[in-house]
Amino acid sequence: MPRFALVLTAIMLAIAIAPRAMPGPHSALAQTADGTMAVVTEPAAPAPSAPGPLQAVLQANADAIAKPSRTTVDTVIAALLESNAPGAATFLAQWRDRGVVQRKADGLFFYGVETADGFSLTDPDTGKNTGNAAKADVTQLRPNSGVRGVLSSALVQFQLADPDIAVRESALIAIERGAEASQLEPLRASIEAESDAGLKARKTRLERLLTIQFDPSAEARIAAIESFAGDISVDVRAALNPLVATTPKAFAEVPAGTNVARALAPGGDIPLDDAYGLLVTAGLAQAAPTLAEMRAALIANRADGAVAGVPVAALGSQAARMDAYARLAAAGTVPPPVTEDAKRAALATVSIVAVYNEPDANVTAAAEATLASISRSLALNQTLDLALDALSLASIYFLAAIGLAITFGVMRVINMAHGEFIMIGAYTGYVVQQFITDYTLSILVALPLAFFIAALAGVAMERLVIRHLARRPLETLLATFGISIALQQIAKNIFGTQARPLTAPAWLDGAWVVNDVVSISTIRIAIFVLALIFLALLLFILARTRLGLEVRAVTQNPAMASSMGINPDRINMLTFGLGSGIAGIAGVAIGLFAKVTSDLGSGYIVQSFMTVVVGGVGNIWGTLAGASMIGSLQKVIEFFNPSNTLAAQTYMIIFIIIFIQFRPKGIIALKGRAAGD
Amino acid sequence: MSALLEVNGVSVSFDGFRAINDLSFEIGPAELRAIIGPNGAGKTTFMDIITGKTRPDTGSVMFGEPPTNLLKLPESRIAQAGIGRKFQRPTVFEQQTVSDNLMMALKAPRSPLAALTSRRTRSTEERIAALAAEVGLRDSLARRAGELSHGQKQWLEIGMLLAQDPKLLLVDEPAAGMTVSEREHTTDILKRAAETRAVIVVEHDMEFIRRLDCRVTVLHEGSVLAEGSLDHVTADQQVIDVYLGR
Amino acid sequence: MADAKMADSALPGFTHQPLWKRNPSVLVFTGLLAVFTLVITVLSEGLGLGLVSTSFVKILGMTLCLCLAAIAMDLVWGYCGILSLGHFAFFGLGGYLIGMWLMYARTEDIVIASLAGAELPPTAQEIRDAIGTQIFGVVGGSEIPLVWSFAHSLPIQLALVVLVPGLLALVFGWLAFRSRVTGVYLSILTQAMTLALSLYLFQNDSGLRGNNGLSGLQNLPGLDDVPQSVVSVWFFIASAVALGLGYWLAAFLVSGKFGNIIRAIRDDETRIRFLGYDVEGYKLVVFTLTAIIAALAGALYYPQAGIINPAEIAPIASIYLAVWVAIGGRGRLYGAVIGAAVVSLLSSWFTGGQAPSVPLGFYTIDWVDWWQVLLGFGFVAVTLFAPNGLGGLVDRLVRKGDGR
């Protein structure tokens, strides 16, 4: 097996040259280039009397190296590998990176680093500096990108066994991105000697993936395929899916040994015309003229304002055209038309089957089985991922809606400007970042500040407007809408219409990745935690504090509460401040992952209303239930229709409208007389 | 004699509190009945059940001849079947005139189409005027109901009730906030109404009930405690216990 | 009979009278509208002296349509107490339905004209394919969607202008009223319906050209020879007639017993229910009827605007409709008209850049930027200090406060 021997040599060669290449050809040469003084003091070494082993190989292929093309580069690489010459890998790397020059005088190759007035040369065999050369005396080799690609993939084989783990890893990544058949053997050979356990596991896995694609032995492929049962990684699916890809074909009789996936019913699994087209391709039927072809034939055969005796003016219907064409065909002028019935009859005599592109039936069977097991495990993981997404969306809705729920519960008014308090919070975060450049610190400052500013705006609105519209909920709704459009426009006038960035600190940038399917970004985890904190905080305030007691009393029975000496004005003001403040916090959170614009809030306002309505009024758990339901519903619908989030929202709203039919007072409703009417 | 309204074994509870507990009750087609009982005895809830505002957990409410089950009907149908109700707090349409208030209450087809095609004829106007005269609002027909005094609103509401020409009238505390002479007038109206139909009056004021001179039903904790003439029930030891405390 | 005589003498004005006597504003309004229409027609470019530009005639015609929509809103909210945040969706739906015919029929004309020179006379299928490509090319399609099945026929599409919004309102209203959703809950629910509809229309595969909407609606199929200046006056007059008819219909509805009952529903739903009225049925009638009025207004509006897209239907538009009615004064038909006319005309004046800027020295108030702020706060002020709106001022001038 000469091929295998060749590869083995290459690897040994690579190992042999590796130490000298360290810490990489670039830096080695760079050092030399930096020390121009040293080069000058040392007299320029004369050309070595006898070329080194590497130079000998290079000289043997001098033409191919000096003017490389995709076709010739392979012979050079093969020659280099065969020669066992130390430094071959370094040479390949240098060649690829345009670091090789050829001296015009004697045609010898050197590594050359460009200096101010020429090149500083290094002997490829010894690695020693051999002095400078003027630009005119040498030719720099500039292989084109195709050649460089070939060189890179050849180099991967060397790098797989490189002592530097970083080099090995990058070689592995290169293979993962685009594998070639030639890489399978070096990869296999490098596994044994791999010292790093993590890298070894990756190499083993990659080896199995390459085996699936490139190994000549069906048994080895099947074993590799089966080893991936239940593995949901994207690369496995990418390796397996081509194996089960099929092409529809037509046969008068399916030849033995054809790897048939399934039979196709014309008109059902495959459109009638397509099936007939296969028949034509297979030479089993005569081509049917298409509508366009028939039309062209009619046009071509016009004579004296008529086609085959039918006046052109009468050809304004498909039936008339068919008739005229049939006459032409009867006269033998054009190929005869094929009717639908004829097509069906022709198809009835043959088999239309989907044939696997992969010829080996055992391999395709194994691939189908493994893919089936993968899809089961994929479904499980997707559900998990969906649950995480839903949880994250639910926490956003919870944060956005809870303030609204509190104010609605206590005062029975809908605050249409709630979304603008969210916007105020987001802009507060943005402005704080203009003054505090440390992102972590700025978020820590922005959160309480956003609460404070939004709460202030809320209290002002309650005192100036809402208080004067007591017990007129519809007017309140509209008045707060007026405030909403005014606030939005003011924000637009101040900050402009373009989106402002609210940058998350670096530690929030990443994602928690479980596997290729299940992952969630750190920001969303942070928002989830924030939602939990506020849930706990609000539960504490409502259940354990005087304010909470009074708020609950006003929520359940305002008249009774006021007769018990609770000042409803004060409660209204405080709850409005609290609710608006939380909206401000939600604004900072939302701003971290969405763009901060003046209509940031209005994008969440309807969902917030829905959350409150669906959840039920006057109960934190209700809001939580509402947010969870709406969040998961939206994600589930999006899952079934991923291309279309608009449709998802449409269906969700319709669902909510229907839901309200069955639970008009929400999931968690106050019962009895306190609920009122 | 068959009963006009027959309530049988009705119970309802709010959040575990039993407002009505296995209540049974009967009233004939032309009878005046007073219902008394301490606060929380379930008087208002009883009326809510008959008029369909509250749905009981168990029991049946049969009304009319042939008897129909009211529990299956929406509020508006119950009203159309011939049950009129006057609320504790006077509720008239304050933005509209006395005449309009009475006109809406007048017995007539209730569907939207009927309302669209109805015309105010001489005879409707006469009936409205007659009703207004009966409740002492003859001179206030063109006034807005919101401008009326408290007592006048009570009367207007009674007038609206009569305009409906119901078979059964439910009257919740009609005398509240009325002067002595107004009360006398109210008593007269109710007694006259009871000559042709059934009237149930819920009232706290014993003097008012004495003047009504009718059968009395005492409710306590959601069920009937005693029934009979006022003298009979006031002599009942249980009733005394409930009213005066043990 | 003495009784009857007494009733006759003591009850003037209580027996049945013609509409214009029960609701004198009908006559005043019709008169003013007729004079206005006549004046504008005489001054117009298309049919008159040319003192009023075609674009302004269009703005006025559109404003009349908005006034009609505002009357519908006033009926449903001001009189019946249902704060619907969905009536502009019905308005837009009407525009879409008539727009489909306008766009289809005109494209058909163009396609037939362009295929006239072809080697073979076009088949029906070829025409249809060409129309499909022409209309749906922007959303990457060429098939004519199912919803366009009747787009070739004006009578059917006109019927759909009434039927589709009417049915939508009927089904939605039936669901909502049946489960006794009232007050702000109902408002939120109608807003959700509006949002769902606009989001649906925003999709490219909704069959209504996604966010491109329908365009070229100002061109009437088959009437290419008639200049826009004339078409604009036709539509202006049609809008005026529709508004007049709408006002009469609304006045008829609110002046009789039906009007008493829906106002009673607004003021005390429970009480009127115990009088035997089927509150849900009445609400459903008002909701559906006003939805149809709004749809008809939209069907007249969008041929004048020339283009309709899903953004028109966004929930905020319906809220604006409520704002106009509130500023004009709820529960007064002329209030709705005044509100819609004043606010929408002011709005196009301010945002059109004609309003003079206000220099403050350190800052110049440019109304294009600040009109929304003014409108928002102005609206809050009206709600707080003039709950009867501009119509309330009219009432005070006329010195009649009968609550109509």
Name chain B contacts of A673, Cβ cutoff 8 Å: 14
Digit-coded pLDDT (tens) for A302-317: 888 788 888 888 888 8
Return the higher-pLDDT residue of C56 and A172.
Answer: C56
CATH architecture for residues B5-92+164-244: 3-Layer(aba) Sandwich (3.40)
Phi, psi at residue B244, to the nearest 5°? Answer: -100, -5
Model pLDDT for residues C16-31, shown as the tens digit of each residue: 677 777 778 889 999 9
Is C1 within 8 Å of chain B by CB? no
Q: What is the pLDDT of residue A455?
A: 95
Strand, helix or coil for residue B221: coil
The answer for residues whose C-beta is within 8 angstroms of residue C172's C-beta and 6 or more apart is A657, C86, C190, C193
Range with lowest mean pLDDT among A78-92, C166-180, C365-379? A78-92
Check residue A85 and give its pLDDT.
Answer: 72
CA–CA–CA angle A658, C98, C281 (5° rounding): 40
Average pLDDT value over all residues in chain C: 87
Residue A76: φ, ψ to 5°: -65, -50
> Any long-range contacts for A185-189 (C-beta under 8 Å, 24+ apart)?
A185/A3, A185/A4, A185/A7, A186/A7, A186/A10, A186/A11, A186/A156, A186/A157, A186/A160, A186/A161, A187/A160, A189/A7, A189/A8, A189/A11, A189/A161
B47: Cβ–Cβ under 8 A, 6 or more apart, which residues? Answer: B85, B170, B172, B200, B202
Residues of chain A with Cβ-Cβ distance to B14 below 8 Å are 671-673
ipTM entry: 0.87
State the average pLDDT for chain A: 81
The answer, yes or no, to whether the previous bond of A48 is cis (omega within 30 of 0) is no
Using an 8 Å Cβ cutoff, are A175 and A156 in contact?
yes
Residue in C7, C253, C257 nearest the CB of B118: C257
Compute how many other C-beta atoms are within 10 angstroms of the C-beta atom of residue A66: 14
Chain B residue closest in CA terms to C257: B115
Distance from CA of B118 to the nearest CA of A (A): 32
Give the nearest chain C residue to A652 (CA atoms): C196
Q: State the residue for tokens 């306008």.
A: C102
Residue A562: pLDDT over 60 = yes
Choose, out of C119, C197, C268, C366, the residue to mutate when testing the contact with A (most A CBs < 10 Å).
C119
- State mean pLDDT over C212-226: 88
Report CB contact under 8 Å: B164, C279.
Answer: no
**How many CB pairs lie under 8 A apart between chains A and B?**
6
Q: Tell me if C9 is assigned to some domain.
A: no
Q: Kindly state whether residue C313 falls inside one of the protein's structural domains.
A: yes
Lowest mean pLDDT among A489-493, A560-564, C270-274: A560-564
**Which chain B residues are closer than 8 Å to C3 by Cβ?**
126, 129-130
In tens, the pLDDT along A378-400 reads 889 888 988 988 999 899 999 98
Contact predicate B61/B105, CB 8 Å: no
Q: What is the pLDDT of residue A582?
A: 92
Q: Using 50, 70 and 90 to split pLDDT, how confident is the model at C2?
A: very low
Average pLDDT over residues C341-354: 86
**Angle formed by the axes of helices C25-43 and C228-255, nearest 10°:** 180
CA distance A479 to C384: 8
Q: Does C401 have pLDDT greater than 50?
A: no
User: How far is the C-alpha of C396 from the C-alpha of C329, rounded, in Å?
Assistant: 12
Distance from CA of A671 to the nearest CA of B (A): 7
Q: Name chain C contacts of A477, Cβ cutoff 8 Å.
A: 83, 184, 187
Task: Confirm or reject contact between A673 and chain B (CB < 8 A).
Answer: yes
B16 in A contact zone (CB under 8 Å): no
* Minimum CA–CA partner of A675 in chain B: B14
CA nearest to C190, candidates C180, C201, C202, C181: C181
More confident site: C12 or A498: A498
Cβ–Cβ below 8 Å for A646 and C203? yes
- Closest chain B residue by Cα to residue C13: B142
**Confidence category of residue C180, pLDDT binned at 50, 70, 90:** confident
> Using the beta-carbon criterion (under 8 Å), do A664 and C196 form an inter-chain contact?
no
Contact by Cβ (8 Å): A206, A236: no
Contact A602, A609 (CB under 8 A): no
Q: Determine whether the interchain pair B76/C403 forms a contact, defined as Cβ–Cβ distance below 8 Å.
A: no
Q: pLDDT band at A672, cuts 50/70/90?
A: very low
pLDDT tops 50 at residue A247: yes
Residue range C170-193: average pLDDT? Answer: 87
Contact (CB<8Å) A653/C193? yes
Selected residue of A660, A661, A665 to mutate for chain C interface (largest C Cβ count, 10 A): A660
Residue C317 lies in a domain: yes
In a domain, C383, yes or no: yes
CA distance B104 to chain A (A): 23
Cα–Cα distances in angstroms (integers) from residue C114 to residues A181, A320, A613, B61, in the given order: 57, 22, 55, 76
Q: Which of B53, B92, B122 sits opposite C15 (nearest CB)?
A: B122
Q: Which residues of C touch B118 (CB under 8 A)?
A: 256-257
Task: Mention every residue, 6+ apart, whose C-beta is less than 8 A from residue A208.
Answer: A224, A227, A228
Return the percent helix, strand and coil in chain B, to nearest 5.
Answer: 40, 25, 35
Place of tokens 């409005």: A576
Q: Given this model, what pLDDT does residue C117 score?
A: 78
Residue C346: inside a domain, yes or no?
yes
Domain range for C170 is 23-398
Contact (CB<8Å) C373/A489? yes
* Chain C nearest C-alpha distance from B9 (Å): 24
Question: What ranges make up the beta strands (E) of A230-363?
Answer: 246-251, 260-263, 302-303, 306-307, 310-311, 351-356
Give chain C positions within 8 Å (CB) of B122. Answer: 4, 7-8, 15
Task: Indicate the pLDDT class of residue C399, thresholds 50, 70 and 90.
Answer: low
List CB contacts (< 8 A) between B17 and chain A.
Answer: 672
d(CA A496, CA B241): 77
**One-character DSSP codes across A25-62:** HHHHHHHHHHTHHHHHHSPPPPPPSS--HHHHHHHHTH
Q: Looking at residue A643, what is its pLDDT?
A: 66
Best residue in B47, B77, B89, B100 to probe C by mutation, most C CBs within 10 Å? B100
Rg (CA), chain B: 18
Q: Is residue C372 part of a domain?
A: yes
pLDDT band at residue A20, thresholds of 50, 70 and 90? Answer: very low
Please state the three-class secondary structure of A306-325 as a single string: EECCEEHHHCCCHHHHHHHH
- Report yes or no: A485 at the C interface, CB cutoff 8 Å: yes
Q: What is the pLDDT of residues A569-596, one digit of tens each?
A: 888 888 899 999 999 999 999 998 888 9
- Chain B hits for C272, Cβ within 8 Å: 93, 104
Mean per-residue pLDDT, C99-128? 88
Identify the chains in contact with A, defined as 3+ C-beta pairs within 8 A.
B, C
For B13, nearest residue in chain A (alpha carbons): A672
The verdict on residue C353 lying in a domain is yes
| CA B47/CA B39 separation, integer angstroms | 14
C-alpha A139/C-alpha A181 separation (Å) is 35
Residue range B87-122, pLDDT digits in tens: 877 788 988 999 999 999 988 888 899 888 888 888
Residue A559 contacts B, CB cutoff 8 Å: no
Phi, psi of C261 (to 5 degrees): -70, -45
Domains in chain C: how many in total?
A: 1
Asked whether the beta carbons of residue A671 and residue B15 sit closer than 8 angstroms, the reply is yes
Q: Which chains does chain B touch, 3 or more C-beta pairs < 8 A?
A: A, C
B246 at A interface, C-beta within 8 A: no
